[in-house]
């Protein structure tokens, strides 16, 4: 079977739901365990209301591990100064020995923490990505854009990876997909069916060729919650709430998940989302159930699979997935 790389979230379901307190040592134990079990990367989501900040947590995890890669899944670029963020990310790459994977997005759920509303978040995200690459590769930055202006600006730390850490861009809509095709080292899709992933990645490939890029250099990444248990019903109950809430939010315009999945009626309540839709867009169930679903994503083009998060909470699911799913792709 083809080699597929796997990542796993350091935050677990209770952390995502803001159930206090977050045990920092438990997070570090999970980082060490993931490396021991053979996961390729450990990941931190980035929302202002989460109990741990992404870059700081990954910096701590870098000191607890030796080889596992460190991913931001995904970091909100619009909430930070481009220069300060470029400096922090470069420092993390140095501290970790060049293990940073920078997953980025335009930001969501953080609007209340902004000093002022962010206008044109997609266009602003594109400009920030361009700025990050300049800060990481140039001694001085002279930049005049729609949102930022820098003159002879510099940061004191460059990334260890050259020319810079891989930038994987989360994209749901057509404009972010074009940005991923133009600037991304990877394309992150989330919570969609294998068929939808195949369609979206084909759009990325076509757009990349229009920008004169080799689409083979863009890593196709799928990220989603995973629920694994020897009791399928237990896994179904664990995944159901998070899956149905997401599919309701993305069911209508501009994403139109319901239509893309073949449903004529738009869901307005999580209870309206059928189990079949959950089954098509998420990996859950017994280890064999998860294995078969992930194989479908591989056939659609996925080369990197990230569990954000793995359920149930605790080490049980991380170990079971590694022993009976991850090992099948090694």
R_g (Cα) of the chain, nearest Å = 19
Instruction: Match 């996961």 to its residue by tokens.
Output: 39
| Residue pair 172/255 in contact by the 8 Å Cβ criterion | yes
| Residue pair 93/99 in contact by the 8 Å Cβ criterion | yes
At residue 111, the pLDDT reads 74
Q: Output the six-digit token pair for 253.
A: 């315009």
At residue 277, the pLDDT reads 97
The answer to whether the predicted template modeling score (pTM) of the entire model surpasses 0.85 is yes
Rounded to whole angstroms, how far apart are CA atoms 24 and 53?
11
| Residue pair 198/280 in contact by the 8 Å Cβ criterion | no
How many domains does the chain divide into?
A: 1
Rounded to whole angstroms, how far apart are CA atoms 10 and 26?
9
For residue 150, give the CATH number of its domain: 3.20.20.30
Rounded to whole angstroms, how far apart are CA atoms 155 and 139?
8
| Residue pair 17/313 in contact by the 8 Å Cβ criterion | no
At residue 15, the pLDDT reads 66
Domain that holds residue 34: 5-329
Rounded to whole angstroms, how far apart are CA atoms 144 and 130?
11
44-to-28, 58, 133 alpha-carbon distances in Å: 12, 7, 22
At residue 1, the pLDDT reads 46
At residue 12, the pLDDT reads 85
Q: What is the pLDDT along the chain (330 residues), one digit of tens a residue?
A: 458 999 999 998 776 665 566 678 999 999 999 999 999 999 999 988 888 899 999 999 999 999 999 999 999 999 899 999 999 999 999 999 999 999 999 876 677 777 777 889 999 999 999 999 999 999 999 999 999 999 999 999 999 999 999 999 999 989 999 999 999 999 999 999 999 999 999 999 999 999 999 999 999 999 999 999 999 999 999 999 999 999 999 999 988 999 999 999 999 999 999 999 999 999 999 999 999 999 999 999 999 999 999 999 999 999 999 999 999 987
At residue 16, the pLDDT reads 65
| Residue pair 15/51 in contact by the 8 Å Cβ criterion | yes
Q: DSSP secondary structure string, 2-14?
A: ---EEEEESS-HH
At residue 273, the pLDDT reads 97
Name which of 275, 254, 278, 257 is nearest 266 in CA terms.
257
At residue 47, the pLDDT reads 84
At residue 225, the pLDDT reads 96
At residue 19, the pLDDT reads 56
User: For the stretch 215-230, what's the b/e string if a residue is b when 16 or more beta carbons lie within 10 angstroms of its beta carbon?
Assistant: beebbbbbbbbbbbbe
At residue 61, the pLDDT reads 98
């Amino acid at each position: 079977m083809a080699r597929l790389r796997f990542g796993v979230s350091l935050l677990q379901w209770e952390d995502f739901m803001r159930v206090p307190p977050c045990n920092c040592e438990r997070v570090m134990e999970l980082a060490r365990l993931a490396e021991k079990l053979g996961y390729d990367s450990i990941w931190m989501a980035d929302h202002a209301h989460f109990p741990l900040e992404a870059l700081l947590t990954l910096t701590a995890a870098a000191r607890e591990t030796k080889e596992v890669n460190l991913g931001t899944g995904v970091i909100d670029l619009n909430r930070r100064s481009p220069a300060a963020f470029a400096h922090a990310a470069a420092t993390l790459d140095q501290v970790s020995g060049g293990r940073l994977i920078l997953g980025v997005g335009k930001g969501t759920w953080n609007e209340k923490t902004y000093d002022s509303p962010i206008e044109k978040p997609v266009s602003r995200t594109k400009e920030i990505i361009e700025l990050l690459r300049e800060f990481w590769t140039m001694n001085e930055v002279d930049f005049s854009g729609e949102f930022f202006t820098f003159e002879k600006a510099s940061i004191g730390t460059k990334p260890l990876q050259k020319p810079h850490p891989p930038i994987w861009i989360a994209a749901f809509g057509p404009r972010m997909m074009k940005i991923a095709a133009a600037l991304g080292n990877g394309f992150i899709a989330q919570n969609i069916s294998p068929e939808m992933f195949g369609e979206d990645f084909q759009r990325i490939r076509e757009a990349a060729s229009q920008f004169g890029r080799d689409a083979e250099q863009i890593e196709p990444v799928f990220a989603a919650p995973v629920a694994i248990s020897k009791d399928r019903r237990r896994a179904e109950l664990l995944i159901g709430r998070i899956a149905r809430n997401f599919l309701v939010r993305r069911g209508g315009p501009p994403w139109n998940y319901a239509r893309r999945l073949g449903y004529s009626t738009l869901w307005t309540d999580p209870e309206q989302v059928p189990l079949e839709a959950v089954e098509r867009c998420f990996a859950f169930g017994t280890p064999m159930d998860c294995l078969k679903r992930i194989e479908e994503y591989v056939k659609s083009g996925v080369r990197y699979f990230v569990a954000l998060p793995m359920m149930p909470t605790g080490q049980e699911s991380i170990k079971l997935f590694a022993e009976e799913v991850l090992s099948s792709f090694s």
